[in-house]
Amino acid sequence: MAFIYNEPSRTFNEYLLIPNLTTKDCIPENVSLKTPIVKYKKGQKSPLEINLPFASAIMQAVSDSNMAIALARSGGISFIYGSQSIEKQAEMVRKVKKYKAGFVASDSNLKPDDTLKKVLELKQKTGHSTIVITEDGSPNGRLIGLVTSRDYRVSRMPMDTKIKEFMTPFSSLIYSKEGISLKEANDMIWEHKLNVLPIIDNNQNLMYMVFRKDYDSHKENPNELLDKNKRLITGAGINSRDYKERVPALVDAGVDIVCIDSSDGYSEWQGETIKYVKHEFNDTVKVGAGNVVDKEGFLYLVEAGADFIKVGIGGGSICITREQKGIGRGQATSVIEVAKARDEYYEKTGIYVPICSDGGIVHDYHMTLALAMGANFIMLGRYFSRFDESPGRKLKVGGNFVKEYWGEGSNRARNWQRYDHGGESTKMEFEEGVDSYVPYAGKLKDNLDITVSKIKSTMCNCGVKNIEELHKKSRLTLVSATSIIEGGAHDVITKESDFSS
């Protein structure tokens, strides 16, 4: 007879935190959200920590190089999606590692023989008023000139006027050579009253642009996540099929950590993948594994050598694995059991293996609950997909702006490797995810700052100043269906209500 758990598996919605004594020094400014994301021995420090406990999901609709840059600048980490060619994924990693705060790769480029019409079309598409003119129109081509809104007058110039006739030519530009520091670049911008300073190499090829407006932006990111060479830190997703080709390419591109992306990580395929990465790179490459929902799955992957474990099956907002296959577990119960297994393993071996809660987050307070239940950090898909920095298109649907958001198990993504069970099949037999929209929410940093404020405030209510204390001192209570209703606005008519309806 099958083994049956008597207790139901529970979601974050079914729990609330009980306040502890808030001491006078327990204020948001004193709360640290720094957290380890790879294993370490007792008495030592984790080789890789993040400054905010957030990771963006390994999804086409969420984690590309733009998201990785934006999130690392805020203090979290992205795992660039692996359901693309090895070459393209490695190039995304390379783009993140090459990024320098304040040094921007140009993404608005045209050729000298292009026309004013092309300038206006590109400006409309990107929203950028400064357009770089290179010999071949590429981001790193030979710099020929710049075009800004001061170089043309739409009312007096034909649309077919060639750019070379009205651009500011290279001979009239103030520029600098590669190797200049950000401080030196900003000093030049202020000294010469520039809006932008091109950075070129010895062959006049464009390397970066430094904008006056980015100076303040650099000062606004104190949590920036950097490696020892002051480059942004990024992760990447891998699968258990082509890892022998993919991992070396990612390592060569400079990736800081990889994570096996699978809906169910409790498999020999993952065990073999972890062992290969650890053996081939002599334990220098950090690898996360998952997903699992119980003690057995956790121990299997840890004993195979995993550096962190991802927890959760079927809890994502676009995931239909539970509907399609009948496997999974409530996210809260999964995190609680795996965290307990993690702590027991630490007591037994002296090795602490961080866990990542992946899925089940609907409200910001769910993030604090996941951390209180034992998660070291949280992986988020829907949350990050709503922002400007995600790859999905921004559309207007029914009078409201939305962004596209699709699951890796959807027909659109067709990431069959994520749901692979071995054998000769190289296709998806059925969907385990949906294609959808999410409400557009604006810039990542603006939203993340609010979320962080909520988490820190709640931690102060719990009388703790870091995530480790939150694990040890949190008190949680189950809630009834009626207490959930009680917790929201009730028995009043809110001012936003439409009285005419």
Residues annotated as catalytic (active site), given as ranges: 319, 418
Residue 37, C-beta contacts closer than 8 angstroms, at least 6 positions apart: 46, 48, 49, 50, 55, 77, 257, 288, 307, 308, 354, 356, 376, 377
Asked if 33 and 56 count as a contact pair (C-beta separation under 8 A), the reply is no
Asked if 231 and 68 count as a contact pair (C-beta separation under 8 A), the reply is no
HEC sequence for 463-482: CCCCHHHHHHHCCEEECCHH
HEC sequence for 318-362: CECHHHHHCCCCCHHHHHHHHHHHHHHHHHHHCEECCEEEECCCC
Written as one letter, the residue type at 413 is: A
Dist CA 431 CA 416 (whole Å): 9
CA distances from 380 to 35, 45, 364, 421, 454 (A): 16, 25, 11, 25, 17
CA distances from 105 to 6, 96, 114, 168 (A): 56, 11, 21, 20
Report angle CA 236, 241, 246 to the nearest 5 degrees: 40
Report angle CA 446, 448, 451 to the nearest 5 degrees: 115
HEC sequence for 260-271: ECCCCCCCHHHH
Dist CA 143 CA 199 (whole Å): 10
Dist CA 340 CA 338 (whole Å): 5
Rounding to the nearest 10 degrees, give the CA dihedral for residues 382, 476, 18, 369.
-20
